[in-house]
Structure 1
Amino acid sequence: MTSPAAVPAIRATGLRKQFRGSDQSTVVAVDGIDLVVQPGEIVAFLGPNGAGKTTTVDMMLGLTRPDAGRLEVYGTSPGEAVRRGLVSAVMQTGGLLNDFTVEETARAIAALHGRTDRVEVVLERARLTDLARRRVEACSGGEQQRLKFALALLPDPDLVILDEPTTGMDVGARQEFWQAMRADAAHGRTIVFATHYLAEADEFAERTVLMNRGRIVHDAATTDVRAAYGGRTVTLRPPPAVERADGIDPAWLAQVRRVLEPLGVTDVEVSAPSLEAAFLALTSGAGHPDRPGHRDHLVGATR
């Protein structure tokens, strides 16, 4: 990792991309987005199908050119950043040869980058050392994703872009993967990932960029996105006197909504609003914090 820390990892201004549909109609995939990602950030891209995430990622990798606007990766064009080894990607599908072993795959790609010295390092980082002699076709989906991750680390890139990076991994492997990503980010590596695991973005991304219909509808710290759109949930344990066989005394619940402290309520738990609620609110065009109906709320009581 050699890029200047003062230069943004990604800077997009007025970025726009459209395609011609099969019926000759114009489809706007990315509609004038502005985005700055700083070195060392872990950023999640979320959005429904057709939101523009993939097209945005393709432009970041230099795989397609914008129709309008400007896009820089570490102060240069995406294509040049890729050629210099500043950017690597982990894609969801394709890219592996089934007849190669894990180690043969790593050595072949390392030779292209002139970094054969990093083969053992990246296999260790991806927890693949014990699988080095296994053929790719014999690897599980999660192991193949870890191999793609190892390949992405071979040029020691400053920016890693991941598309559904933990598909096929079990919970333990997913946790270990993100621990490695956090360690890399702490040393200055920038992580940008698209995922359909809302819980994964919620847990691991410091910042969330929500896209819908080609536009960025919200871009903030993940905790702020949840707080702005999700509402809060209060779970509590009522005193025994108000518990009944068929549930909790409704009159007492009405009082709880007005005031809590004088009732002697114990074990009150306030959970943060979910990223899923924010995602659904934003991508459906509803649930803005300035609109009526957005509030913290009491959704129930538990024994």
Structure 2
Amino acid sequence: MNDTTVARLAAAVKRYGSLTALDGVDLAVKRGELLALLGPNGAGKSTSISLLLGLIRPDAGRAELFGLDPQRIEARRRIGVMLQSANLPPTLRVGELLRLTMSYYPEPRGFDETAALAGIGDLLLRPYGKLSGGQQRRVQFALAMCGRPELLFLDEPTVGMDIDARQKLWAAMRTLVAEGCAVVLTTHYLEEAEALAQRVVVLGQGRVLSEGSVDDLRKRVALTRIRCVSDLDADAVARWPDVASAARENGHLRIATARAETVVRRLLDADPALSELEVQRAGLAEAFTELTRETAAEQEAA
């Protein structure tokens, strides 16, 4: 294993009866990067994490943590985990839970530092079971990172959080990555991946559909979106060369094109009174939708 690679799936296959959850997935996590795993439900995200954690075994291929079997205690001591659900003693106070979890590690992060980084300083005296769902997620994050992990798995970490709590958790993730911790993040919030990830892997039907930076993923969708206020007929614009689609929506003309400059020039020429012109590259959400749509179409064709 490369010194910079802290976790790896190599040609990993996992089946559940007739369902193939992972179909030959290759995945490498590098030291000090935040890798976002994206994909619709059933794409293989949670299965990939379960393999890397040693919770399940691949039917073919292999999974490694720090070059070791993921079930080896030497590897597991070096990770932190925040899964989608956690069964924690509801009667224990948050501070008690944190001190208990810290005691499992040889060199944990300081108590006050952990509480501040996770944004749980105001919850320490409260019983865990009395917290809201979003507050419980913040506590789970604190427990996952209190042992100074070299690799942190965060499975849908901000579900149930309000915007302010989510922004604070993002800041904490950035701090951990800056310290050299690798983070594997699964999320349904595409803006979360766009804001945080150095690298994005899109899974679909148990396979890797795309891998690269957010910009790389955007480039998989060549279309640019144009939005403006114009009296031009949308159906007529849709028939222009280089226009993929045109429609009227909420008083605006919306156009998709692979050649934005050419289309904008023609728009301005055709309608001198045109206003509120906006030109946007495809966002991560559009790239993700397009990739999964392509995969579905290929499946149907097969």
Give the alignment's TM-score, normalised by structure 1: 0.80
Specify whether residues 119 and 98 from structure 1 end up closer, same or farther in structure 2 by C-alpha distance, changes over 3 A only.
same
Determine if contact 1:73/1:81 at 8 Å carries over to the other structure.
Answer: no
**How do 1:198-213 residues align onto structure 2 when only pairs under 5 Å count?**
198-213=190-205
Show the counterpart of 2:126.
134
Matched letter for residue 193 of structure 1? L
Taking the aligned partners of 2:20 and 2:2, their CA distance within structure 1 comes to: 34
1:75 is aligned to 2:67:
yes
Specify whether residues 131 and 262 from structure 1 end up closer, same or farther in structure 2 by C-alpha distance, changes over 3 A only.
closer
Taking the aligned partners of 1:117 and 1:215, their CA distance within structure 2 comes to: 37
* 1:58, distance to aligned residue in structure 2 (A): 0.2
Taking the aligned partners of 1:249 and 1:194, their CA distance within structure 2 comes to: 43
Taking the aligned partners of 1:224 and 1:171, their CA distance within structure 2 comes to: 27
Matched letter for residue 11 of structure 1? R
1:271 paired residue among 280, 284, 291: 280
Specify whether residues 285 and 108 from structure 1 end up closer, same or farther in structure 2 by C-alpha distance, changes over 3 A only.
same
Provide structure 2 residue ranges, at least 5 long, that are not aligned to the other structure.
241-261, 298-302
1:284 paired residue among 273, 293, 300: 293
Q: Which moved more, 1:263-272 or 1:211-220?
A: 263-272
Determine if contact 2:68/2:75 at 8 Å carries over to the other structure.
Answer: no
Taking the aligned partners of 1:217 and 1:166, their CA distance within structure 2 comes to: 24
Taking the aligned partners of 2:57 and 2:170, their CA distance within structure 1 comes to: 30
Specify whether residues 266 and 81 from structure 1 end up closer, same or farther in structure 2 by C-alpha distance, changes over 3 A only.
farther
Give the alignment's TM-score, normalised by structure 2: 0.80
Can you list the C-alpha shifts for 1:253-274, whole angstroms capped at 9, x where unaligned? 8588372597477764322212
Q: What percent of counterpart residues are identical? A: 34
Show the counterpart of 1:296.
none
Show the counterpart of 1:36.
28
Partner of 2:263, secondary structure, is helix
* 1:121, distance to aligned residue in structure 2 (A): 2.1
Can you list the C-alpha shifts for 1:4-48, whole angstroms capped at 9, x where unaligned? 99330222211111122xxxxx22111111112211111111112
* 1:102, distance to aligned residue in structure 2 (A): 0.5
Taking the aligned partners of 1:61 and 1:174, their CA distance within structure 2 comes to: 25
Instruction: Kindly report the root-mean-square deviation, in angstroms, between the aligned alpha carbons of the 2 structures.
Output: 2.8
Can you list the C-alpha shifts for 1:116-157, whole angstroms capped at 9, x where unaligned? 663222112111122210111221211111111110112210
Partner of 1:113, secondary structure, is coil
Provide structure 1 residue ranges, at least 5 long, that are not aligned to the other structure.
21-25, 238-246, 289-303
Taking the aligned partners of 1:261 and 1:212, their CA distance within structure 2 comes to: 38
